[in-house]
Structure 1
């Protein structure tokens, strides 16, 4: 009896085990492969987008990292850098890559890979706006030039009065005795002699008058040379100070850039009037129209635009400033960070990184 019950119990256990086995999904030895969501944005030549297809240096680099890690991924397109950071922070994306500068503020919110590209900010201006005709005309009325003109006017009046005083008796036909008529004719003679034109319609006849004329000719040469040097100097200063040649010329200027970027922060901290554009291509259009005086942004992006779509219309000027280190952003504490770092180091050692870099940046 007991033996029969024992056998019956074992049979029930075996049946239950078989049912559980049949109810469970077949074991494959692998968990379902995860697809990473990678956020990016146009950032030429690091990231370019055409008809939904992404390309560029950062894109090729991530392709190599993903292949090395053996992971699948899908792109999540964004328009602004801040949107990339927000996507990773909220969990909408697992990774973000474009041209994301590593900063202390961003590092407090997210984790970053080792830097994979070093760059900086640069200034772009409209080529035709390096100097305006109106600005050069206004430069002719600078205090320095007006001061020299004042000295010349006084010298002309003094020389005219002296010549008239001696020539009104010796040569009354050319320098009449009447004060206003005589001095006016003397002023005419003084000006044409000063300018070395020398029409010859008025010439001193007396010895004192001719001696004065000789002295006035030499004085005139000095005054004309001094005036020429002053005008040249004023125009040169206007071109140097009136134009924008680098970051030192930006305080007080209206400058375009992209919102939420290190460029926007730098401009605000350094006294520029900032106008933000998204996408950055809108800033390029504003620059050409004259709505902004310059655009400040990451150097590779500006250089790419200046040599392609903006060729002949814009010019990148001045040195690199505000060093930028680009990294791959992941969530705080993400295990992907260490894996990505190891992959980047491997790409460096195998020279694959160099090959990808040369593909996009070698002249």
Structure 2
């Protein structure tokens, strides 16, 4: 009897195990979902290449994620606001770019320990260029060169006409076209520039009237050339004096009153400019921001100092320069969606990066020195 009961218990146990096995298989946890990391291109912190993303922030994140054993994939945001919304709405787990840590953002998202000390920088247009080429360009921009060209064409046409008439009406005039044209050209320019000439008067009284009209036209031509050159030189001098005065006077945002100030839309700089009561204009990317300043569409720009300095090193041809000191000190960190379970672990990795010298090595790699 005991043997029968023992056998029955074994059968029941096996049957129960057999029944429970499919259920366990059905309730087994699915493969872990890849962590979504949103990035925003901002050299030298995030740069896009054919092989993927690289840069100061990318290198630091990838080293930290490797040590934490995280599986992730990148998704790119086109604007700063898109990156911030991706974190606050829970579409992404981590944001990697030059993201400033401040109280307003910390109400909507979590941050790691800071990994970069930065600040805001003011930039203005470079001093107006000087020299002959600059003067020549100013003449062209103001339309004077076109007038000069038409004047030159008029002189050549008048010289040809005078040569043709003299060859027919003046027996003492040189018979060769080359010599005759050179004499006519000299007489025409002499009248235009000095109002004097020793050319014979043709056509009697009509010739005298024509000569008088030509003298008046010559006086007008000389007056126009003199005034146009003087005005361009005066404007160049005034622009440079104004630029020097502005450059020496600009130290902080209060010195930008009455000027149009460009910033990156959604950035700390844009909030800072708005709080200062300045007239601000937002741009979607750093490249567009600096381009607007180079094209004089804004009077000054305010942005993150590291990125602006790096851009100038890469594009020394841009006619913009930084002025004043860093006007607001900031710290960059990785942003995480609110309540992120990896915040403490990621902060620990950032602290280790400081302690092991990784951050210093990245600074030298991307900024030099």
Q: How do residues 29-68 of structure 1 correspond to structure 2 at under 5 angstroms? A: 32-51=31-50, 53-68=52-67
Whole-angstrom distance in 2 between the partners of 1:274 and 1:129: 24
The aligned residue for residue 291 of structure 1 is 297
Q: Could you say which residue in structure 2 is the equivalent of 1:116?
A: 115
Deviation at 1:24, TM superposition (A): 4.0
Q: Closer, same or farther in 2 for the Cα pair 1:268/1:121, shift >3 Å? A: same
**Residue 242 of structure 1: CA displacement?**
7.8
Match for 1:320 among 317, 326, 332? 326
| Residues 1:20 and 2:20 aligned together | yes
> Kindly tell me: are residues 60 and 271 of structure 1, through their superposed partners in 2, closer, same or farther at Cα, counting changes over 3 Å?
same
Partner of 1:341: helix, strand, or coil? helix
Distance in structure 2 (CA, Å) of the matches to 1:125 and 1:90: 37
CA distance in 1, matches of 2:356, 2:309: 29
> Where in structure 1 are there 5+ consecutive unaligned residues?
134-231
Q: 1:324 to 1:20 in 2, by over 3 A?
A: same
Distance 1:34 1:352, change over 3 A: farther
Confirm whether residue 347 of structure 1 aligns to residue 353 of structure 2. Answer: yes
**CA distance in structure 2 between the partners assigned to 1:344 and 1:67 by the alignment:** 13
Is 1:11 the counterpart of 2:11 in the alignment? yes
Aligned pairs for 1:247-326 within 5 A? 247=252, 248-309=254-315, 311-326=317-332
Distance across 2 between alignment mates of 1:319 and 1:303: 13
For 2:187, the equivalent position in structure 1 comes to none
Stretch deviating more after TM superposition (13-22 or 40-49): 13-22
SS at match of 2:257: coil
Rate the CA distance shift 1:61–1:123 in 2: closer, same or farther, 3 A. Answer: same
Residue 42 of structure 2 contacts residue 286 of structure 2 at CA under 8 Å; is this kept in 1?
no
CA contact (8 A) 1:38 1:94 kept: yes
What TM-score results when the alignment is normalised by the length of structure 1?
A: 0.64
Cα distance, 1:83 vs. partner?
A: 2.1
SS where residue 340 of structure 1 aligns?
A: helix
Query: In structure 2, what is the Cα distance between the partners aligned to 1:84 and 1:256?
Result: 20
Structure 1 distance, partners of 2:353, 2:102, is 24
**Which whole-Å deviations, capped at 9, do the CAs of 1:281-325 have from their partners, x for residues lacking one?**
112222122111111110011111212135342212221111111
* Per-residue Cα deviation, 1:183-236 (whole angstroms, up to 9, x for no partner): xxxxxxxxxxxxxxxxxxxxxxxxxxxxxxxxxxxxxxxxxxxxxxxxx9xx86
RMSD: 3.3
Give the aligned partner of residue 361 of structure 1.
367
**Cα distance in 1 for residues equivalent to 2:264 and 2:64:** 28
Check 1:276–1:50 CA distance in 2 against 1; reply closer, same or farther (3 A cut): same
Contact 2:39 2:75 (C-alpha < 8 Å) held by counterparts: yes
**Kept in 2: contact 1:34–1:71 (CA 8 A):** no
Q: Is 1:78–2:77 an aligned residue pair? A: yes
Q: TM-score, normalised by structure 2?
A: 0.63
C-alpha spacing 1:238/1:278, structure 2 compared with 1 (3 Å): closer
Q: Residues 81 and 303 of structure 1: is their aligned pair in 2 closer, same or farther, counting only changes over 3 Å?
A: same
Question: Any conservation in 1 of the 2:310–2:367 contact (CA below 8 Å)?
Answer: no
Partner SS, residue 121 of structure 2: strand
Instruction: State the number of aligned residues.
Output: 263
Structure 2 residue runs of 5 or longer lacking an equivalent are: 131-137, 139-236
CA distance in 2, matches of 1:89, 1:39: 12
Secondary structure of the corresponding residue to residue 99 of structure 1: coil
In the alignment, which residue of structure 2 is the partner of 1:97?
A: 96
1:217-269 CA distances to partner (integer Å, 9 max, x unpaired)? xxxxxxxxxxxxxxx9xx86773148874434312111111111111111112
Residues 41 and 47 of structure 2 are in contact (CA less than 8 Å); yes or no, is this contact kept in structure 1? Answer: yes
Q: CA deviation at 1:72?
A: 1.8
